[in-house]
Amino acid sequence: MYEPKTEAVRRRRTFAIISHPDAGKTTLTENLLLMGGAIRMAGQVKAKGERRRTQSDWMKIEQERGISVSSAVMTFEFEDTICNLLDTPGHEDFSEDTYRTLTAADSAIMVIDAAKGIEAQTLKLFEVCRLRDVPIITFINKVDREGQSPFELMDEIAERLALDTVPMMWPAGMGGLFKGLIDLRQNTFLPHTKGEEGTGEAVDFSSDAMAEYIPEKELETLREEAELAQVASPDFDLDLYRAGAMTPVFFGSALRKVGVRQLLRGVTSLAPSPRPQKTTVRTVEPDEAKVSGFVFKVQANMDANHRDRIAFMRLCSGRFKRGMKLKISSSGKVISVHNPILFFAQDRELVEEAWPGDIIGIPNHGTIRVGDTLTEGEDLVFTGIPNFAPEILQRVRLDDPMKMKHLRRALESLAEEGVTQVFKPKIGANWVIGVVGQLQLEVLRERIDAEYGIKVGLEPAPFETARWVSADDPLELKRFVDANQGNIAEDRDAAPVFMAKSAWEVGYITDKWPNISFSATRERQ
């Protein structure tokens, strides 16, 4: 098991929350921040309805539909640990963005609604975590409501996710009968303080003092249940958890602030600190002296007053200092990072230094892109931050042809965020945009209008999907491109893309051109 030597790295936990919409991620995030006394945050916790104004006013869709579209990073300190909490958009259309955000996390909290169990989006996000062996702590939320029995929930997780489950906390009753939480490892009881939020002082669960909280008969059953919960599950094994094969399970209620502190302690004591990261050349360890990091997200126009872009970089090694010169992998350009930022609510805050695990925002004018690696000079690229083949392709129709140039700029800069992709077909004047989900189209149209003042219409393109094409022999690639002009486009890096009318066509053309590679993902080099 890897343990960093540098104290500043050991103190850091960079994690994300994954859940199905409505399971309580926003509520939990807010309470985690409160618990830690948020010291700084990038973006903002998105709340539903009118509860809170979102920072991104342009995201009207987000407000109307009550979904959180753009991810944010929030940093807070809790009992001497620096927590970098990555917020992942819950809506399924944004899974690509979410996927990349998860590449920046060392671990995740999986929030499950006690009444609903594992839901579709939980499962999807879990699969992403599994691909990368991201360790997961489970939080079963809403125990203050009627839910499934804790045993059923544990079984469901174990069976559907093929994970060993180990309960750390156990609810004493649920819904109206909820009395508090049992800390199974400490053998203590945390009474739910009625009328107030949270839980009171811990009481020895085996002691007679318990009679004060739970009637005798009920207590007897509860003690049996707690014992069974422990006997029925394996012993907790830190290595297995960190390898992504076992999940410690916490119960609680984010809304009533029950079990949140215990969950956070679980993260600080069990979750890994920043881990070594793979690159094209070698594995980079956080303890290394030289700074390196990768960009997992670019957000354009975060602030209407500044036409800039913020690249979110996750630091992987070294001690970053403001003003440092860093080389960008894709262009070879060297930039001086004078204004690395962190956000506190609506304000930007300059950061003087940062450590592996931290996420810093670098303002730029399009020089830095999603997937870029930044180093002090070494030529390496962090791997595993792909672009995904779009599943919906649409043609962009411009109402005012005089604005063609503007449109191009708008499309390209929005594509730099990595959520939408733009393709310039070899034949035909209209741009084609590709997205992974339908909602992204609406967001895109809205943003082109709100941020660039251009009205566009989106209409179906005659294509359904796209594949990046490459070949060992450049002549063969040229032959392929020439033979299929009507299907060929370039992405924003001028890489050739084959646009197909159907999945069947992809299969057909793949068989016909055995020396051409067709790829559904593209990693930036």
For binding to ligand G4P (CB under 6 A), which residues are involved? 19, 21-27, 48, 51, 90, 141-142, 144-145, 253-256
- Cβ proximity of 169 and 150 under 8 Å: no
Residue 25 marked in a binding site: yes
Which CB sits closer to ligand G4P, 255 or 335?
A: 255
CB count in 10 Å sphere of residue 403: 17
Q: What spatial distance separates the first Cα and last Cα of the chain, rounded to whole Å?
A: 30
Which CB sits closer to ligand G4P, 96 or 144?
A: 144
Residues forming a β-bridge with 40? 75
Q: Say which residues have a Cβ less than 8 Å from residue 66's Cβ, sequence separation at least 6.
A: 48, 49
Pairwise CA distance, residues 100 & 415, whole Å? 15
Which CB sits closer to ligand G4P, 23 or 69?
A: 23
Residue 192 marked in a binding site: no
> In 3-state terms, what secondary structure has residue 158?
helix
Helix, strand, coil tally for the chain in percent (to 5): 30, 30, 40
CB of 68 to ligand G4P, least distance (A): 7
Query: Which amino acid is residue 505, in one-letter code?
Result: E
CB of 258 to ligand G4P, least distance (A): 7
CB of 174 to ligand G4P, least distance (A): 11
Residue 158 marked in a binding site: no
CB of 37 to ligand G4P, least distance (A): 20
Residue 87 marked in a binding site: yes
CB of 453 to ligand G4P, least distance (A): 32
Which CB sits closer to ligand G4P, 242 or 256?
A: 256
CB of 24 to ligand G4P, least distance (A): 3
The position carrying tokens 């032959």 is 479
Which CB sits closer to ligand G4P, 146 or 379?
A: 146
Which CB sits closer to ligand G4P, 91 or 522?
A: 91
Which CB sits closer to ligand G4P, 192 or 256?
A: 256
Pairwise CA distance, residues 522 & 46, whole Å? 31
Q: Specify burial of residue 136 (Cβ count, 10 A radius: 0-12, 13-18, 19+).
A: buried
> CA nearest 494: which of 410, 387, 422, 389?
422
Residue 141 marked in a binding site: yes
Residue 274 marked in a binding site: no
Angle between helices 120-131 and 95-103 (to 10 degrees): 40
Residue 142 marked in a binding site: yes
Q: Say which residues have a Cβ less than 8 Å from residue 426's Cβ, sequence separation at least 6.
A: 481, 485, 486, 488, 489, 490
Residue 260 marked in a binding site: no
CA-CA-CA-CA dihedral for 297, 524, 447, 28, to nearest 10: -30
Phi-psi region of 257 (alpha: psi -120 to 50; beta: other; left: phi over 0): left
CB of 439 to ligand G4P, least distance (A): 15
Pairwise CA distance, residues 364 & 297, whole Å? 13
Residue 24 marked in a binding site: yes
Binding positions: 19-26, 87-91, 141-144
Detail the residues annotated as belonging to a binding site for GTP.
Answer: 19-26, 87-91, 141-144
